[in-house]
Structure 1
Amino acid sequence: MSKREEFLDQMESQLNVWRAQISRFDARAEKETEARREEMKKKIGNLQNQINEFEDRMEAIKKTNQEAWEDLKEGAEKAWSKLSKSFSSLVSTFY
């Protein structure tokens, strides 16, 4: 397995974990007061948008050749860091 494939597999695996957690948060938000629910849904929506943007980066990496992916990796790692921080912020909203 190439480094690019390992990178993509790791990212996809973590995204799957986060998607499952987001689904639980979404269900939990439905049980909250209207104001709290709106706040939670907004944060969930923002995170889902970031996930979608990151998935676009992953697709770009998949389409590049082995050498060119290194150029995209740095941007993907920065986006991943931002996404990770956003997920942590979402978790703090629910706990």
Structure 2
Amino acid sequence: MTDKKNYQKKLEAYLDKWDAKIDELNAKAAQAEAESRLQYEKSIDELKKKRAEVQEKLEDIKKQGEDSWEDIKNATEGIISDLDARLQAVIESFK
């Protein structure tokens, strides 16, 4: 399997993981008090936007040739790191 294909699989696994975490957060937000729920929903919306950026980068990578996808990979790594950090912060705020 090529590096590009391996990276695509890695991104797909991240997206699946984030979807599951976001679903968990949505369930917790639904049980929160009204004031807290609004803040949680705002945080979840921000996570969904970042997740959509990664999905978009994945689609871009799929369209690129074997030689030209590395530039997108480098930009994607920053988004992944940011999303992971934001996700952890939101999870901590739900505790």
Q: Percent identity?
A: 26
TM-score normalized by the length of structure 2: 0.93
- 2:87 is aligned to 87
Query: How many residue pairs are counted as aligned between the two chains?
Result: 95
- 2:46 is aligned with 1:46: yes
Q: Distance in 2 between matches of 1:71 and 1:61?
A: 9
Would you say the 8 A contact 2:15–2:55 is kept in 1? no
Structure 1 runs, 4 residues or longer, greater than 4 Å off: none
Structure 1 position 23, deviation (Å): 0.8
**Inter-partner Cα distance in structure 2 for 1:54 and 1:35:** 30
Determine the C-alpha separation between the residues in 2 that align with 1:20 and 1:71.
Answer: 28
Q: Which runs of 5+ in 2 are unaligned?
A: none
Q: Aligned partners of 2:71 and 2:18: how far apart in 1?
A: 26
Aligned Cα RMSD in Å? Answer: 1.0
TM-score (norm 1): 0.93
Quote the Cα distance in structure 2 between the aligned partners of 1:3 and 1:94.
37
